[in-house]
Chains A and B, each alone.
Chain A
Amino acid sequence: MVQDALALWKKIKAKGERGTTLYLRLFVFFAFFVVALVLAFLLILNIAGVFHIGIHKSQAWFENELEHLSQDISNDYGNLSVHGVNLSEKISKSMESYLKEARVAPSGLADHPELLEELLSLQMPDLLSALQNNKCGGAFLILDASVIPQAHMRQRAGLFLKRTEPNTVGTMGSKLHCLRGPANIARENSIELLGQWQMEFTGSETDFFSLAVETSRKRSELPLSRLYYWSPRRLLSGNSEAGMLLSVPLITSDGTVLGICGFEVSSMLFKQSYSPDNSVYARVFSVLAPVKESGLHMDGGLLAGNSYLNSALGGNIAVISEEDAPFNRYRSGEQGDYSGVQRTVRLYPAGSPYQEDIWAAAVMAPREDMQAAARKGILGLQLGIGVLCLLSLLAAAFVSRRYILPVLKTLEGIKNGSGYAALPKTQYQEINDLLEFLAAQDEAVSAALAEAKTGKTPASVGTERENLKPPDLDPEQYQRFLKCLETLSPAERRVFDLYVREYRAKDIAAELHLSMNTVKYHNGNIYGKLEVGSRKELLSYIRFMHCQQKREEEEHDEHLS
């Protein structure tokens, strides 16, 4: 293989020593010019940021969606928090009043399980009203007590009403189901039990309860508006739908924490409320998730977008990196690779014991979709430039060929042994001049050879030439020639007359005090006006003129004698 390469290199080098063809040189020149133009164009486009227009557009779109998402989440969650606090105040007051009538201290509720069903039943109107009037998937109330004595660490009495409806959130005509609570209370209010209904909450599913209640007890100096807590996404046992739960402590006037109440933002509600517009990016989705060191904790957050993402993404932590600036790059497990933007969302007010919990809203899409979108805009441009480049190169090849062809034909003619004077004129003055020059040289050499052969001077050769048979010209052609003579300008006529007197171009220039270029210029005009293609043809006509002249003189002499 090395030997073959060496042989090829030698061949190329040998070829190069002979020089490159005119056509190739010209083509390369044109091609270089085209490529330089295209590169300059690309540089200008790059400086103008045209190649990044796809990314900028994507960025603007994502930022816009994120702006709306974070705004909506802030507003909605803020409203729910406010209404949750209101609900807690109402229920706390109602419960305190009931216990007062029953002569039971709030702190002694756990010791009176017989009161629980009635106590809960009395809260139904407030709970139902709150559920109907708020953008939530459910409302609940959990007490630190159980109908089973001494079981209030393992079980807790309460109510959990869920809204199930088929479409975007509306508060009218929604169907309610009971997930937790005494069956009688549900039946009295014509609420069906869900398939996963249990009468009481279990301790293990209510860790958010413990956190909210313990914190309220420890931070009893804080107002209620600072004590609400948003749990990360969780699934109550037996429930099929997860959600975030807002827990607001139920506190009586003596500071006893009776339990919690609040709202649920279910997965379906979140999806219905915050799904981004997927007409531009089909697989775009929104996220609200807690932020920890390693990134977005998707297993604690909610997603809104195409459902297929939920199970794949929901359980994993998305790691944030900034590789894809201006976007963040999120990785989730082995297959999840997303690009997007995020922004911190404040769920808690200043002074809240939970304000260290950072939540973020994000809008993201599969990375491959983002890259495809960025490429899409440029692809057309690249294709266009590519086609333009190709066409330009083809044009360069075509023009070079056309430019060179006459020259090549002439050179071919020379190679084939045609005399310089017999070769057709080209469109290039320099070539024509060269051919004329060569033709004149050719004649001079022929004359010198003839002189050397016969010992006669050129003049005598010229006389002998005169005595040769006149050229065979069509009389009509000759008459046209004579007529065309009249169209010569005075300067051109002077040059022509000298040609008639067998002057060469050099001699004419000296005689008339003209430059060679001027003589060449007049030659071109003479040939054109007299409709001759070459000097040879002109000389033929001139010889014919001489012959005609001589004949006329001879006839005149005969007449006189």
Chain B
Amino acid sequence: MKSRLKHFTVLLVALALLTAGCAKAAGKSPLNPKEPVTVSMWHNFGGEMQTTIDALIDEFNSTVGREQGIIINVTAITSSAELQKSLNMIASGDPGAPAMPDIATAYPKTAILFQQKGMLANLDDYFTEEELAGYVPQFVEEGRIGDGLYVFPISKSTEILYLNQTLFDQFAVENQVTMECFSTFEGLADAAQKYYDWTDAKTPDVPNDGKAFYAADSWVNLAQAGMRQQGDSLFDAENLNLDGDSYRRIWEAVCPPAITGAFAIYDGYSSDLSKTGDLVCSTGSSAGILFYGDTITHPDGRVERVEYSILPFPVFEGGEKIAIQRGNGMMVSKSDRTHEYASAVFLRWFTAPEQNMRFIASTGYLPVSKEAFENRMETEIERVEDYRIKKMLVAVTEMYRDYQFFVAPVFEGFDSMSKAYEQDFKQRMVSLHEKWIVSDGEASLEKMTAEALREWRGR
């Protein structure tokens, strides 16, 4: 009896030790496949990108998510601008602001608002140095705010020039303009004015109804790039730097065509104007390629097939080949270890080369992992089925060989300052254009430009 009791006791102790050992081993991951954690996500990959992102999330939920106990639940898909607006509401604690999602796509300029309030998880706690070394370093650095990594690189882009080659060819033939005009902003401005005059002349009875040639999706990005190309910076210790010659050159290239109407000043994306043939070229995010179709629709309903070309971002004369590095990342809200850990698992999987390239092939963003970016691009470009994305990736890959890239500064007031710049600039240009129309060409363009700069600098 005693020996049996002894055996039983030994067995019990062994079982207890085994259970404790298992629990300890499992303690590293707080996830439990039997009690999956739901991670809410907002993203801005809508439109044609949505099918791809939906499929990737479905795949994650059915595989890695199921194994580890994670469910990614997308609760909002909207444009980047709207997403940032809602996120700003949350950061400010506005009444009626929605609940903060666990993961959201965000730019560093928005993320900083959350980081300063301690509302973001530091992703350095969930990724080892070795893991982070697998990503393109400047992409990772862009997401660092203060002491940690708060915006994980997901999708990167730069700014390129979209050209309606069909419309341009029609114009270029009759006006001795060549593709060379797109290498500099000054050349582009010159071509724009010629285009405006050419289209205006088509309706001699109707003055000042020429068509715009060019628009920028972001005038502040254009100014930032222009300053960098000239070895300067638009921001000087968190203030706008508008006083020097560098900025004057930018102003003198952009303002006159904006006054005459050769440059379109438009509140929405330039692709909107392109769809209706109201624009020949525009600069915008390389990830916007899917917004440019292969047709334009005229007001009378005629649909015309067109071809687009993708060109590098223009450079101010004498300047360096420098362009902005764009693209948002994903920030993880500070909650509990389980949700944060689960979010990190998803980010790790989503940006792994295989998934990253599938995402790239149907969205037009650039890959963020070193392996994909440096070793697989050429092979993957061949496999891309959408000819628009293929064209864009070829152009951007070349840009990454020839250009240097800069990242927009990250400080608390940056977002509001850049929004104010954009809004004010557009309002002024619209107002100046109206004055120009009213003056019926009698006002001096140079004088108007110089006066406008004076007022602009004094605002």
Contacts and interface: CB of A to CB of B under 8 A. Distances in A.
Is B one of A's binding partners? yes
A414 interface: no
B291 interface: yes
A278 B74 CA distance: 14
A307 B73 contact: yes
A161 interface: no
Contact of B86 (A113, A167, A198, A307): A167
B20 to A, nearest CB: 19
B299 interface: yes
Interface string B284-313: 000000110000010111110000000000
B71 A196 contact: no
Contact of B301 (A146, A165, A282): A146
Contacts of B36: 282-283
Nearest to B74: A307
B38 A184 contact: no
Interface string B239-256: 000000000000000000
A193 interface: yes
B51 to A, nearest CB: 6
Contact of A164 (B57, B61, B78): B78
Contacts of B51: 240
Contact of B47 (A196, A278, A312): A196
A312 B271 contact: no
Interface residues of B, number: 53
A35 B98 CA distance: 59
A312 B268 CA distance: 36
A156 to B, nearest CB: 11
B290 A307 contact: no
Contacts, number: 124
Given A306-B73, A312-B62, A195 B271 contact: yes
B71 A283 contact: yes
Interface size class of A (residues with CB under 8 A): 35 or more
Interface string B18-45: 0000000000000000111010001000
Given A192-B269, A195-B48, A165 B275 contact: no
Nearest to A170: B96
Given A164-B82, A307-B73, A192 B62 contact: no
A438 to B, nearest CB: 28
A535 interface: no
B50 interface: yes
A306 B38 contact: yes
Q: Is the interface of A mostly helix, strand, loop or mixed?
A: mixed
Contacts of A199: 297, 301, 303
A148 B299 CA distance: 10
B1 interface: yes
Contacts of A168: 98
Most buried by A among B42, B55, B82: B82
A197 B275 contact: yes
Nearest to A183: B276
B79 A164 contact: yes
B58 interface: yes
A190 interface: yes
A182 interface: yes
A282 B54 contact: no
Nearest to A193: B272
B78 A306 contact: no
Contact of B50 (A146, A166, A241, A306): A241
B46 A175 contact: no
A457 interface: no
A401 B50 contact: no
Contacts of A164: 46, 77-79, 82
B345 interface: no
Given A166-B82, A183-B276, A195-B291, A306 B71 contact: yes
Contacts of A294: none
Contacts of B55: 311
Interface string B51-79: 10011011011100100000111111111
Contacts of B407: none
A272 interface: yes
A405 B299 CA distance: 107
Contacts of A241: 46, 50, 77
B83 interface: yes
Contact of A175 (B60, B77, B79, B267): B79
A311 B47 contact: no
B299 A182 contact: yes
A445 to B, nearest CB: 37
Nearest to A177: B79
Nearest to A148: B301
B76 A165 contact: yes
B167 to A, nearest CB: 16
Contacts of A200: 301
Contact of A278 (B38, B72, B268, B269): B38
Interface in A185-229: 186-187, 190, 192-200
A127 interface: no
A307 B57 contact: yes
Interface in B303-341: 303
Contacts of A175: 78-79, 81-82
A439 interface: no
B76 to A, nearest CB: 4
B410 to A, nearest CB: 23
Contacts of B269: 192
A147 B301 contact: yes
Contacts of B291: 195
Contacts of A240: 46-51
Nearest to A271: B75
Given A164-B82, A175-B82, A195 B290 contact: yes
Contacts of B50: 240-241
Given A148-B302, A167-B86, A195-B290, A312 B76 contact: no
15 contacts: A151-B301, A165-B82, A166-B83, A167-B86, A172-B96, A183-B272, A192-B268, A192-B269, A196-B48, A282-B35, A306-B38, A307-B74, A308-B60, A311-B54, A312-B62
Interface of A: 113, 117, 146-148, 151, 155, 164-168, 170, 172, 175, 182-184, 186-187, 190, 192-200, 240-241, 268, 271-272, 278, 282-283, 306-308, 310-312, 372, 394, 398, 401
Sorted nearest first, the 8 A-B pairs with minimum C-beta distance are A308-B61, A147-B301, A167-B98, A166-B76, A192-B268, A240-B50, A195-B291, A195-B47
